[in-house]
Amino acid sequence: MTSLIQQDRSQTLRRAAVRATLAPSIHNTQPWRFVLSADALQIHADRTRQLRVLDPRGRQMTISCGCALFNARASMAAAGYDPAVERRPDPMQPDLLARVLVGEPWRGRVPIGALDEQAEGRHTNRRRFSDEPVPPADVAALVEAADKEGAVLFPVERDDHRASTARLSQLADAIENADPAYRAELRAWTTDDGRRRDGVPAAAVPHADAGSGDEIPIRDFDTRGMGWLPTQTQSSMQQCLLLLGSAADDQVAWLRSGEALERVLLEVTRRGYVASPFTQVIEVARTNAMLRQELALTMYPHILLRVGRAPTTRPTRRRRLVDMIAESV
């Protein structure tokens, strides 16, 4: 009996690691390593995949790993376990961000387990969204989802807040695009090679042109003029805009924000919506500070999300499991 229980726990851990690889990540860098032991799954940041220009502090990298952590938790919950998480368990290993234990079997259904089946259907969507509004009840559910993960989801609803967000996003986008190092890093992580297993593929980005019609600019990933999606994306400040942040601004807060982000994104998917992230306004220190001031934010913002309905888009590829998942020795 004991061996059967251990075998079930081992299979649960391995499946959780595989589900973790489906998480979103900044520029689809997939900046993580997963290590399996007999009773736990370790999640490590892979700094060889950190964006040194855009993300020198490793905030977006850590948020990405937090998304992977939530997928692992949801997978274990779907298997009937209540996972236990140790965040930053070892100060001597700064890149060991979390250790997840299977935990005890749960008599009832662990709530986040219902989100596990959404992991394969969640994709960043950079297409034009419909004009259909997101009902207040759905927005409230997303706010609640972030709150349950210890983060804050702030709906950008006031006209002056929308105008500030759009103006500052445009400014941040212009500042970043004027930096040759930023453009070089962006080119390194975008691709028209269908065989590549990381980075942002041409099939998932709009074709660059002057006719996007964006008030809040979608990041221009079309560095080679090979974008497959229509140019007109019409990213509007009147669409559903949600700003995710945290009360603190340290590595644990970033990790928890990633968990909250993925919980929100899976809820978005479950409700039949899609989402696209905007981080330019967060990445530039000047616009970040101005955003906090003009929106009177008491939190530290990390991600701006656009939520709505849009035609489906192709999923981005993932690296080979053997390159991401290892057994402890």
Q: Which residues pair with 289 in a beta bridge?
A: none
Within a domain: residue 288? yes
Same domain flag for 156 and 197: yes
* C-alpha distances out from residue 114 to 48, 152, 269, 280, Å: 34, 22, 12, 32
Would the pLDDT of 256 be above 50?
Answer: yes
Same domain, 146 and 261: yes
Q: Give yes or no for a contact between 179 and 53, defined as CB atoms under 8 angstroms apart.
A: yes
| Per-residue confidence (pLDDT) for residue 1, from 0 to 100 | 45
Residue 301 bridge partners (DSSP): 245
Give CA–CA dist 243/294, Å, rounded: 13
H or E element, residue 285: helix 285-294
Statement to judge: residues 61 and 208 lie in one domain: no
User: Distance between the two ends of the chain, CA-based, in angstroms?
Assistant: 25
Kindly report the CATH number assigned to the domain that includes residue 208.
Answer: 3.40.109.10
Pick from 247, 321, 245, 238: nearest CA to 20: 321
* Cβ–Cβ under 8 Å, residues 201 and 194: yes
Q: For the chain, how long is the longest CA-to-CA vector? A: 65
Task: With respect to residue 126, please indicate whether it lies within any of the assigned structural domains.
Answer: no
For residues 107 and 175, state if they share a domain.
Answer: no
In a domain, 257, yes or no: yes
pLDDT bin (cut points 50, 70, 90) of residue 127 is confident
CA 57, CA 84: separation in Å to the nearest integer?
A: 27
Apex CA 319: angle with CA 316 and CA 325, to 5°?
135
**DSSP, res 107:** S
DSSP helix, strand, coil percent of the chain (3-state; round to 5): 40, 20, 40
Residue 8's pLDDT is 82
Domain of residue 259 covers 136-308
Q: Are residues 105 and 145 in the same domain?
A: no
This prediction has a pTM of 0.94
Number of domains in the chain: 2
The answer to whether residue 108 sits within a structural domain is: yes
In a domain, 250, yes or no: yes
Give the pLDDT of residue 79: 92
Query: Do 88 and 144 fall within a single domain?
Result: no
> Domain check: are 214 and 304 in the same one?
yes
Instruction: Give Cα 316 distance to the centre of its chain.
Output: 13
pLDDT at residue 35 tops 80: yes
Q: Is the pLDDT of residue 285 over 70?
A: yes
Any bridge partners for residue 124, and if so which? 275
Sign, CA torsion 237/238/242/245? positive
Mark whether 6 and 147 lie in a shared domain. no
| Same domain for 147 and 63 | no
Residue 148 resides in a domain: yes
Same domain, residue pair 24 and 154: no
Structural contact between residues 34 and 43, judged by C-beta atoms closer than 8 angstroms: yes
CA dist 307 and 295 (Å) reads 19
For 224-239, what is each residue's pLDDT tens digit? Answer: 655 555 555 556 678 9
Report whether pLDDT(175) > 60.
Answer: yes
Q: Are 65 and 32 in contact (CB under 8 A)?
A: yes
Q: Is the separation of the CB atoms in 125 and 275 below 8 Å?
A: yes
Res. 15 pLDDT band, cuts 50 70 90: very high
Confidence of residue 71 (pLDDT cuts 50, 70, 90): very high
What percent of the chain clears pLDDT 70, i.e. is strictly above it?
88
Return the SS3 of 170.
Answer: helix
| CA-based nearest residue to 257, from 220, 285, 291, 282 | 282
Tell whether the model's pLDDT for residue 298 goes beyond 80. yes
Question: Is pLDDT above 90 for 18?
Answer: yes
Beta-bridged to residue 126, according to DSSP, are none
Q: Which of 70-74, 121-125, 126-130, 315-319: highest mean pLDDT? A: 70-74
The reply to whether 93 and 190 lie within a common domain is no
**Residues 97, 22 share a domain:** yes
Q: What is the mean pLDDT of the chain?
A: 90
Q: Which H or E run includes 143? A: helix 136-148
Summarize pLDDT for 191-217 with one digit per residue, the tens: 888 889 998 887 766 556 655 556 777
Q: What percent of the chain has pLDDT over 90?
A: 73
| Domain end (from 116, 145, 173) | 116
pLDDT band per the 50, 70, 90 thresholds, residue 3 = low
- Domain-located, residue 127: no
